Structure formats: C-alpha cells, structure tokens
C-alpha cells in the first residue's frame, strides 16, 4: 500500500510577535512529539513548520532596524530548537489603510535569515484588489533576486491574493486565532495510483484518454481512503496538545521526479500543455475539492515549474508559459509558482504579472499566489543552475 509522505506538520501559534525563546521551545516540543507519533504510524514526515501571526501587524510601529534585530534573534531561537521553517505571516496590503511603506524592510528581513518566510496580500475578499500594492511587491521580488544567493530568497516569499489563514504550505502560511495544527501531504503517488486504476478498470488503451468523470470519482475515493487515517491521527494529536485541528491540505505537492505533471499525463490527453490539459486539470481538482475530509489551505493542484521535473521540461520545450499556467490556475490550485524568469525582467513586467494573478483571484473568488524567480545575471534563453536540493533546473523564459 502506498502511503503518501507528509510534506509538513504546521503548527499555528496565537502568541503575538515578538516571540520569546519559551514560545519557540514549546512550539518545537509540540512539533517534535507530533512528528514522532506520525512517523511511528508509518508515515514519512518531511518537515515540521511554524506559522505565526503577521509580524507586519503586531510590530507595525517598529523601525526597520528594530525589526531586523528581532528577526535575527528569532532566527537564532529557531536554530537553537532545530526549526528550519517559520512564517512571519502576511502583510495585509489589500487593506486601504495599510501603509505600503511597511513592505520596504521585507527583503532585508529575508536576506538576513534562512528559516523565515513572508508574503504580501495585495487582494482580499473583503477589500478586493489594491493595485498600487503590486509595485512595492514586485520590488521585493526584484531585490530578493539580486540580494540573496542564487536569488533563492524568492523561495521564501510570495504575493497572495484572497488566501485565507491556516494554509500549512509555505510561504503562503500565516496564522490567526487559537493555536492550531494543519497537515500538508505529498500525494502525487496517490493521484498516479488512482489514474492507473481507472485505466485498468475501463480497459482503455495505453495512451487513450480516460473518462474525466471517472477520473474525478476514483481520485476522490483513493484520497478519502488513504488520507482518513492520517486525518484521524491529526485530530488525536490536536486534542492531546489542546490545539484546533485546522485540517489537511490535499494539494499533491510535487518534488523533483515525483511529478504531478507526469501523473496528469496519465489521463491520456497528451503532453502537459496540449489541448485537453485544462480539462484533465479540472477533473483532478474537482476530486481534491469534493472529498469528505476536513480540508484547509489550497487543496488544489500545485504547478511549481522549478519543483516539478516534468513540468520544468514542458516549460523548457515551450508547451507552457506564464499565461497558460495562469489559465490552468483558473480551475486548479495555487497560481504561478517558482517561474524561472530573466533577471533583467523590468519591474513593470513583474508588477503586471502580479496584477494578472490577483485580479483572477478576485474575479473567481479563489485563493491564488505568485512566487516568481527572476534569475540573477541570467537572460531569457539561458538555463538555471540552482544548487538547492529543492529546485530543479530548466530554461529561463517568460
């Protein structure tokens, strides 16, 4: 039996910034105990993560120098407890009274640390799109590209649009409310298993298209069957530690050769990017959205170009680009994720791409994000050469 790895156990804490060493020690103890229990149950736990309230609200009156000093202290406290992932929360820039000048220190905060992530919410269900927030957000992306090693600071930053709190995946995670526990899974293998089963049941020839209704039904059944025990364990852990159980994000997060795009191509509608891709993507997403499991976060398809080896190849081959991925986002998951863009890309072009993502989120009333990777000192047509184990390499293009 295939058991999907747990990509993240994410603890959301209600304590406001500035956090103390005692807060971090307690959070680490809870996460380590939870990780042991999940591992003992037969699951691989890849990471544990800490999601906090937005620092940009809690410490809005702090100077940039004081914020920088604090995040360095926070990084040391995280290092002392062996925690490698911590969210500083999301800057609520969509609110008309949010001072956009508060966004200026974000590149310095991320460049000075390794465990911390942050986001800027430029659109929300309550306020709609605040278009003037896109330019300073683009400036953050541009600075991180040129002021962090290999531009990797952008791995820990994203623009959000209509994304609620409680997502376990980073960098989108931010917290509000009582202490909580959320699960995120790497369920690509389960999706592939379900699609192979449909092909066998329907006696469809090796490369023929699968019935999309049956794809949705089978994927939903497989997810409910295999994820229910993990959900029950999550509930038990939350109860034991007096936490609210946030739920499970069913987004089948890919990793390198474990590719959601390779799984999607099992639907038989050609290479990803061919006609029929949108329909297959929608069929899988319908399954993710319609289970009886308690869900949180995106619970949709993630299509990160630099984290999915097959998607990186389709991008390199010219089958997909930023706007086709945005089209697929209208029926699936997270928006634009880890796009390898030219380091020379003008800030206006980054800003306009962010606006495209944000307005789609507002019009469709769905959470979307943009995590963009302008590659420093590289131009369109060259290849990336990332050394990070989290990223694959592909062609730089737009």
CA pair distance 62, 70, nearest whole angstrom: 10
**Pair of tokens at residue 13:** 């804490």
**Eight-state DSSP code of residue 337:** E
Res 98: pLDDT = 97
Domains, in order of start, for the chain: 1-398 (3.20.70.20)
**Percent of the chain, pLDDT > 90?**
90
Give residue-wise pLDDT tens across range 2-35: 678 999 999 999 999 999 999 999 999 999 999 9
Give residue-wise pLDDT tens across range 166-193: 999 999 999 999 999 999 998 899 999 9
CA pair distance 370, 240, nearest whole angstrom: 36
Give residue-wise pLDDT tens across range 271-294: 999 999 999 999 999 999 999 999
Res 280: pLDDT = 96
Whether omega before 87 lies within 30 degrees of 0, making that bond cis, reads no
* Across 320-332, average pLDDT: 94
Res 199: pLDDT = 85
Give residue-wise pLDDT tens across range 220-263: 999 999 999 999 999 999 999 999 999 999 999 898 899 999 99
In Å, what is the CA distance from 69 to each residue of 15, 72, 79, 140, 146? 19, 5, 16, 19, 22
In Å, what is the CA distance from 378 to each residue of 145, 172, 213, 339? 11, 27, 44, 14
Res 332: pLDDT = 86
Whether residue 207 has pLDDT greater than 80: no
Res 256: pLDDT = 87
Phi and psi for 338 in degrees, rounded to 5?
Answer: 50, 55
In Å, what is the CA distance from 144 to each residue of 141, 307, 394? 5, 19, 20
CA pair distance 93, 161, nearest whole angstrom: 10
Q: Let me know: does 90 contact 137? Beta carbons within 8 Å.
A: no
Res 169: pLDDT = 95
**Pair of tokens at residue 330:** 């209208």
Res 1: pLDDT = 54
Mean pLDDT (the chain) is 95
Res 379: pLDDT = 93
Nearest C-alpha neighbor of 118 from the set 97, 90, 151, 141: 90
Whether residue 206 has pLDDT greater than 80: no
Nearest C-alpha neighbor of 330 from the set 296, 372, 290, 285: 285
Q: What is the DSSP string of 9-22?
A: EEEE--PPSSPPHH
Give residue-wise pLDDT tens across range 79-136: 999 999 999 999 999 999 999 999 999 999 999 999 999 999 999 999 999 999 999 9
Strands 128-129 and 116-124: antiparallel
In Å, what is the CA distance from 299 to each residue of 155, 169, 180, 308? 20, 10, 18, 18
Res 2: pLDDT = 63
Distance of CA 324 to the CA centre of its chain: 19
**Percent of the chain, pLDDT > 70?**
98
Phi and psi for 285 in degrees, rounded to 5?
Answer: -65, -40
Res 253: pLDDT = 87
> CA dihedral defined by 201, 202, 203, 206, rounded to 10 degrees?
-100
In this structure, of 40-49, 154-163, 204-213, the range with the lowest mean pLDDT score is 204-213
How many Å is the Cα radius of gyration of the chain?
A: 20
Q: Is 369 helix (H, G, I), strand (E, B) or coil?
A: strand
Q: Let me know: does 350 contact 151? Beta carbons within 8 Å.
A: no
CA pair distance 52, 75, nearest whole angstrom: 14
Res 315: pLDDT = 97
* Across 36-50, average pLDDT: 96
Whether omega before 171 lies within 30 degrees of 0, making that bond cis, reads yes
In Å, what is the CA distance from 21 to each residue of 26, 62, 78, 198, 241? 9, 20, 9, 51, 19
Res 398: pLDDT = 83
Q: Let me know: does 278 contact 268? Beta carbons within 8 Å.
A: no
**Pair of tokens at residue 355:** 């606006």
Res 77: pLDDT = 98
Residue with tokens 């029926």: 331
């Amino acid at each position: 039996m295939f058991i999907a790895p747990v990509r993240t156990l994410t603890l959301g804490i209600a304590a406001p910034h500035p956090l103390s060493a005692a807060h971090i020690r307690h959070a680490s103890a809870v996460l380590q105990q939870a990780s042991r229990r999940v591992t003992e149950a037969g699951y691989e736990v890849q990471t544990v993560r800490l999601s906090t309230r937005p620092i940009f609200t809690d410490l809005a009156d702090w100077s940039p120098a004081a914020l920088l000093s604090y995040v360095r202290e926070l990084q040391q406290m995280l290092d002392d407890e062996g925690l490698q992932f911590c969210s500083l929360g999301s800057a609520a820039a969509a609110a008309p009274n949010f001072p956009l000048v508060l966004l200026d220190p974000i590149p310095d905060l991320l460049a000075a640390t390794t465990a911390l992530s942050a986001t800027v919410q430029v659109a929300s269900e309550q306020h709609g799109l605040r278009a003037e927030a896109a330019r300073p957000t683009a400036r953050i992306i541009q600075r991180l590209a040129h002021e962090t090693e290999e531009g990797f600071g952008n791995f820990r930053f994203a623009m959000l649009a209509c994304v609620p709190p409680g997502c376990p995946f980073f960098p989108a995670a931010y917290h509000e409310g009582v202490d909580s526990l959320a699960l995120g899974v790497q369920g690509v293998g389960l999706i592939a298993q379900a699609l192979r089963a449909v092909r066998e049941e329907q006696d469809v020839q090796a490369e023929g298209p699968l019935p999309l209704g049956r794809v949705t039904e089978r994927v939903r059944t497989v997810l409910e069957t295999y994820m229910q025990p993990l959900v029950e364990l999550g509930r038990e852990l939350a109860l034991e530690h007096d936490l609210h159980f946030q739920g499970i994000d069913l987004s089948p997060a890919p990793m390198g050769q474990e590719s959601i795009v390779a799984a999607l191509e099992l639907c038989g509608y050609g290479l990803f990017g061919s006609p029929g891709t949108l329909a297959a993507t929608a069929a899988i997403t319908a399954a993710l959205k319609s289970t009886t499991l308690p869900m949180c976060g995106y619970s949709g398809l993630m299509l990160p170009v630099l984290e999915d080896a097959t998607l990186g190849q389709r991008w390199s081959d010219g089958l997909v680009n930023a706007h086709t991925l945005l089209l697929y986002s209208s029926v699936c998951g997270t928006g634009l994720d880890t796009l390898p863009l030219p380091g020379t890309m003008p800030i206006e072009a980054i800003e306009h791409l962010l606006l495209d993502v944000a307005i789609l989120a507002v019009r469709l009333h769905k959470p979307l994000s943009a995590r963009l990777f302008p590659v420093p000192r590289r131009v369109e047509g060259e290849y990336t050469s990332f050394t990070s184990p989290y990223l694959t390499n592909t062609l730089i293009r737009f």
